[in-house]
Chains A and B, each alone.
Chain A
């Protein structure tokens, strides 16, 4: 069971294209995915099938693919809401990189049932490291 959790605040991002670029860059730099992947296309394709919104301004874009090296929860928070593919604003992006079913990821998703948990993830007063710890800790 893996527990790769990355949380970054990117207040400078103001458009979706830049956001997608940043996601891919982080994933490559941290060796979460292989080079020559379809990450950006796959995320968009998944959203096109049906939105992944889990909270008022929180979405959970995800891919399940062979090119994923490390199953990961990558949380990116932006200051200025971006218009997501469902045409609604989003400020917190919970990106899941999945290769095959993973108990940690599954447990994390189930925790999203709790709206307070989603609110905590979106709390900019909590630094990224606290959020990371919160996600890693799992259910108390």
Chain B
């Protein structure tokens, strides 16, 4: 484990209840994102999750798993592959080799499993492939796959997603997930990524960098170890494809350059359709600027953006909502390209988003289902994509200035309340403090303070209206701050 990971486990071990990502981030002096990443890595490194998350509460240590892990840290390095991992690895190998056949003995020699298990594996793999209209053929102790090239690559991509290789944010980490990616391939692919970024004067962020890298990696491996069947589609681009190319001519030129480089690298002339496939990835990324827009936004993108905004009952006339709408359009436009082209991006923060923003995420899913139905499009917004959308709304709501009104109170109105007032204003600059008063003032004229939502007081008081009482120490400790924070967030 790295230092961060050890510190997280140690913090959870010391805490007797849940610890939030925020608290861990403060403790470690790192961002919340780093905390999420570290926790994912910790859980991935052991047989059963060490750290559990509970919606609305935070993280806690699974003590039993912790004891098991610490007792068996040496043993855990030799954990067997799970059946899913094994099937995935076998399937990826067979798909890369398609349509050539591979010997079952060779495929399974590292797994040490019985013939019966192999038989079951093949049956499951066959079923999975047939869902994608791919045929698995088994004869004389060998297996092979045949079918449409796009489908073959799509299934490889899905299997890589499932193997969590795509959770690696940095290209070199992603490349290291594959035993058979050599240093030359790694360098070549990284150089192509650099070339695309330079040509488009942009930076390709995670997860899009990993997506393009993996697309090109699959492409290289398909041409190197398998045989790519040239279907009719490859010969002639349809009018729709031609229109997309015309509309994105600058990106198509970049895609063409990269495919030409790849042809040279492989020593094989790649078909023209490969440039179009790569173009699909390039137009499916979120860019920092207007590169992908060409100044136009499709009606369906606008309908989606407005659908989400309406779904959250936000007024499109508000200036903050307008900023949110623009951000959403910027995200939804490439998202639609991904959905249309079956490009899967992994949202490695998905689990954490579900924990941290559970209600928002559920609402995004609900709105997404309604919009899919209303727009009658063939695609479906995946949980990963819904997770990205959730983050836009989380940012919007978290940055919203508080509309809550607070009263600060003590017995005399001149003692601890004065101190508390300064501390509260410092900690919650957006909170509207309507008055600093004595308990007697409040009890004498409660009607004057009827609009207060919170009473932060060092003395006990019975609120006369809907106000929530937060009894606080004059020290305004961390626990006091947390209660105020929760009251502000509480709708």
Contacts and interface: CB of A to CB of B under 8 A. Distances in A.
B22 to A, nearest CB: 22
B418 interface: yes
B423 A98 contact: no
A54 B411 contact: no
Contact of B414 (A50, A54, A64): A64
Contacts of B422: 110, 113
Contacts of A101: 413-414
B419 A109 contact: yes
Given A46-B411, A50-B460, A110 B418 contact: yes
Most buried by A among B415, B438, B474, B475: B415
A56 to B, nearest CB: 9
A53 interface: yes
Interface string A46-75: 100111111100001011100000000000
Contact of B416 (A60, A102, A105): A60
B412 interface: yes
A75 B422 CA distance: 22
Interface residues of B, number: 22
A54 to B, nearest CB: 5
B418 A106 contact: yes
Nearest to B416: A52
A54 B419 contact: yes
Interface in A20-45: none
B196 interface: no
A54 B474 contact: yes
A96 interface: yes
A112 interface: yes
Interface of chain A, helix or strand or loop or mixed? Answer: mixed
Given A60-B474, A110-B419, A110-B422, A50 B412 contact: no
Interface string A103-131: 00110011011000000000000000000
Interface in B39-98: none
Given A55-B475, A60-B474, A113-B426, A50 B410 contact: yes
A51 B438 CA distance: 15
Interface string B201-226: 00000000000000000000000000
A106 B411 CA distance: 15
A62 B426 contact: no
Given A51-B473, A53-B473, A113-B422, A106 B459 contact: no
B419 A64 contact: no
A109 B415 contact: yes
Contacts of B411: 46, 49-50, 64
A22 to B, nearest CB: 21
B458 interface: yes
B273 interface: no
B470 to A, nearest CB: 12
Contacts of B459: 49-50
A53 B438 CA distance: 18
Contact of B475 (A54, A62, A102, A109): A54
Given A50-B411, A62-B412, A109 B457 contact: no
B38 interface: no
B425 to A, nearest CB: 10
B439 interface: yes
Contacts of A50: 410-411, 416, 457-460, 471
A53 B459 CA distance: 12
Interface in B397-427: 410-416, 418-419, 422-423, 426
B420 to A, nearest CB: 10
Contacts of A49: 411, 439, 459-460
A50 B469 CA distance: 14
Nearest to A54: B474
B418 to A, nearest CB: 4
Given A49-B439, A54-B475, A113 B412 contact: no
Contact of A113 (B414, B419, B438, B471): B419
10 contacts: A51-B458, A52-B415, A53-B474, A62-B414, A62-B415, A64-B414, A98-B414, A109-B414, A110-B422, A113-B419
Interface of B: 410-416, 418-419, 422-423, 426, 438-439, 457-460, 471, 473-475
Give the 6 A-B CB pairs with smallest separation, nearest first: A64-B412, A50-B459, A49-B459, A109-B418, A50-B458, A62-B415
Given A46-B415, A49-B459, A50-B416, 9 more contacts: A50-B410, A54-B419, A62-B412, A62-B415, A64-B413, A96-B414, A101-B413, A106-B414, A113-B426
